Amino acid sequence: MASSAPTVMKAVVFSSSNVVNTVTDIPRPAVRPNSRDMLVRVCFAGLCGSDIHPYTGREPGLKPRTVMGHEVVGVVVECGEQLEGVRGQWLHRVVVAPFTICCGMCWACQRGNTARCAHSTLLGWKKERGEGEAAAERLELDGAQGEYIVVPYGDSTLMRVPSPGLLPKSYPAPAQLGQPSSSFEPLRDWINYLFCGDILATAWHACEQAGLREPNTYATPAASSTSNSFTSNKSDLVFPETLLPVPEPTIAVVGCGPVGLLALLCALQITHDRGIASPLIVAFEPNQYRRKFAQEVLGLEGKVHFLDPADLQSDALNNTPVHTAMSPPDPSIAPAFSSVIECVGATPAIRLAYDLVRPGGVISCIGVNTDPHLPLSQDDIYNKNLTYRVGRCDARRIGSMLIDRLAAARQSEAQEQPVEQARYISSAWKIATHVESLDDAQRHYTRFAARDEGYLKVIFHTDAADDVNPVLR
């Protein structure tokens, strides 16, 4: 495939604020001499919310003619010279790229912190530089929304996946408003694996950051007949030397965009893994379409409570389980929420997260916020003994785990066995509302940026079937 690859290709490129163009004359990326690069024939590339930041100018500085996008699944068609010894393990394999590259050898990579690799750089980001401005210290890379992409450190960055099946020659129409497109189901493995490189991994990371994988801790007084009371000899209460585990976290998710919806699936999966039968999970989302989509398309009605944040200022919550959890009648009961996952990346959402979290709780922020100032003061954080966690997802580490879970679940399903290891996350593909050609990218960027109803997750396909299907294994 590589030897017959064209020298130019079709791709979606950045032009200027609020303008992308689909061009057919962008040079096809090339593997560098004596490198660990891999050339990948792109099959699917996602349109991510963080693509909208440079598109709208909220995150300025992207160089014109940069190929957009950082979510990709495709097939390896060429390996760099340094990978000659492992070429047979990679050539013609279906792979997913995490949205940042990682060398696999530095201090951060060796500890699983692949997002902070010493050589880390984002797919689809090339900075525009003025005359005399210093060159970049790290690689700057074109993105995924084209027919080919080169991935440096391919053997440590890319993640191999089981074959998701043959590519179709034609693609289904967009989902009807508020309904899943059942015709996307044949693509479900392609889509699920695609999401492991960014948004599903990021959603899992949000839950990890929120402390959901381990029991939360909360100081609980214990009766004692000893004299070392923490208050006075009138009390027989002492606090343990270490905080006692609270077995069931109470979870709020702020924002039901693509990552927020997947965070709900991941929170359900993690609490299921821990044997928590009926966790309290509440999603706060002002958009009625997104709330309805989660309830009906993802099947979360009855598993997650959905609220418009405006309901917090009304009587709508009175006498509901959510109201009881947030305002327990007994002061010995910890109020919700022990963990708040903020998936928007905007000041009002962070303030809402702060209002929701209980003293001693955790806020996990994974929305990309480009505001220069944190909307919480040190005093705010101090006054709630708050843990505020923020940072880029280690997509290579987490994505590999998710791929293993999804692959094992598929195998269990084929053997008519329970698929507990991916009971919830295997539904991630259902958030896809559009699988579209690269040709009309400007329209999809415009509508996605405007948050038009029905535009929840857009995936671009390339016309790769004739190239890829003969070599899939």
Q: How far is CA 450 from CA 19, 83, 87, 341, 382, in A?
A: 14, 43, 44, 23, 37
Q: Is 283 helix (H, G, I), strand (E, B) or coil?
A: strand
Arithmetic mean of pLDDT, 413-419: 87
Residue 277 has pLDDT above 70, yes or no: yes
Q: Is 27 helix (H, G, I), strand (E, B) or coil?
A: strand
- Are 277 and 247 in contact, with CB atoms under 8 Å apart? no
- Are 453 and 177 in contact, with CB atoms under 8 Å apart? yes
| Total H helices, total E strands in the chain | 14, 19
- Residues 44, 155, 150, CA angle at the centre, nearest 5°? 45
Residue 216's pLDDT is 47
Greatest mean pLDDT range, 183-187, 411-415, 443-447: 443-447
Residue 247's pLDDT is 57
- Are 367 and 255 in contact, with CB atoms under 8 Å apart? yes
Residue ranges of the alpha helices (H) in 282-426?
288-296, 321-326, 347-356, 378-383, 395-414
β-strand partners of 363: 340, 388
Give me the sign of the Cα torsion angle 337, 341, 343, 348: positive
Q: How far is CA 150 from CA 50, 97, 401, in A?
A: 21, 10, 24
Lookup: tokens for 235 = 């009390």
Q: How far is CA 364 from CA 39, 212, 357, 360, in A?
A: 35, 11, 10, 13
For the chain, the C-alpha Rg in angstroms (whole number) is 24
Arithmetic mean of pLDDT, 94-111: 95
Q: What percent of the chain has pLDDT over 70?
A: 88
Residue 372's pLDDT is 83
Residue 221's pLDDT is 38
Lookup: tokens for 454 = 């029905």
Tell me which of 265 and 331 has the higher pLDDT: 265
- The pTM assigned to this predicted structure is 0.91
Q: Pick the closest to residue 376 from 404, 357, 393, 392 (CA basis).
A: 357
Residue 235 has pLDDT above 50, yes or no: no
Residue 382: how many other CB atoms lie within 10 Å: 9
pLDDT band at residue 241, thresholds of 50, 70 and 90? low
Long-range contacts of 8-12 (CB under 8 A, 24+ apart): 9/146, 9/147, 9/148, 10/146, 10/147, 10/438, 10/462, 11/67, 11/68, 11/142, 11/145, 11/146, 11/147, 11/438, 12/67, 12/68, 12/69, 12/145, 12/146, 12/438, 12/441, 12/460
Long-range contacts of 139-143 (CB under 8 A, 24+ apart): 139/101, 140/63, 141/101, 142/11, 142/29, 142/66, 142/67, 143/45, 143/66, 143/67, 143/68, 143/69, 143/70
Residue 180's pLDDT is 58
Whole-angstrom distance, CA of residue 161 vs CA of residue 157: 13
Arithmetic mean of pLDDT, 346-373: 91
Whole-angstrom distance, CA of residue 22 vs CA of residue 442: 8
DSSP string for 158-219: -EE-----PPPSS-PPPPPTTS--GGGGGGHHHHHHHHHTTHHHHHHHHHHHTTTTS-EEE-
pLDDT band at residue 336, thresholds of 50, 70 and 90? confident
Residue 217 has pLDDT above 60, yes or no: no
Residue 329: how many other CB atoms lie within 10 Å: 6
Residue 33 has pLDDT above 80, yes or no: yes
Q: Pick the closest to residue 293 from 157, 431, 397 (CA basis).
A: 431
Residue 419's pLDDT is 86
* CA atoms in the 13 A half-sphere facing the CB of 46: 31
* CA atoms in the 13 A half-sphere facing the CB of 99: 27
pLDDT band at residue 334, thresholds of 50, 70 and 90? confident
Q: What percent of the chain has pLDDT over 90?
A: 73
Whole-angstrom distance, CA of residue 447 vs CA of residue 431: 16
- How much is the mean pLDDT over the chain? 88
pLDDT band at residue 229, thresholds of 50, 70 and 90? very low
Tell me which of 326 and 381 has the higher pLDDT: 381
Burial class, 340, CB count within 10 angstroms (exposed 0-12 / middle 13-18 / buried 19+): buried
**Range of weakest confidence among 21-30, 170-179, 240-249, 452-461:** 240-249
pLDDT digits (tens, 9 = 90+) for 360-373: 999 999 978 878 88
